[in-house]
Amino acid sequence: MPNIVRRVIKIGEKSIGVTIPKEWLDHLGINIGSTIELSLSDDHIIVSPLVRGAIKVKSVTVQEEDIDKLSKIIIASYLEGFDIIEIKTSSQKVRGILSNLLTKLPGILILEKDYGYQVRITVDEQTTDVKSLIYSMRYSVDDMFKLLLKYLIEPIKRELLDHIFALDDDVDRLHFLAVRCIRRTLSKDPKNSADLMLAIKTLEHVGDSIDRIANLILKSNLDNECNRYIKEIVDIAYSYHINSIDSYINEDTMKAVDALNNREKTIEKIMDLGVSRLSRCSPYMSAIMHEALMIVSLSAELGELTMSKYVRGMIKNK
pLDDT tens track for 63-104: 888 889 999 999 999 999 899 999 988 777 888 889 889 889
Residue 182 has pLDDT above 60, yes or no: yes
- CA 272 to CA 300: how far, in whole Å? 20
Beta-carbon neighbour count of residue 279 at 10 Å? Answer: 8
Q: Comparing 5 with 78, which gets the higher pLDDT?
A: 78
| pLDDT tens by residue, 99-156 | 889 889 999 999 998 888 999 998 887 788 999 999 999 999 999 999 999 999 988 8
pTM equals 0.81
CA-to-CA separations, 165 to 153, 169, 176, 284, in angstroms, rounded: 18, 7, 17, 19
Residue 52 has pLDDT above 70, yes or no: no
CA angle 165, 213, 258 (to 5 degrees): 105
DSSP H or E stretch at residue 49: strand 44-49
Half-sphere exposure of 154 (CA within 13 A, CB side): 8
Tell me the percentage of the chain whose pLDDT exceeds 90: 54
- Rounded to the nearest integer, the mean pLDDT of the chain is 87
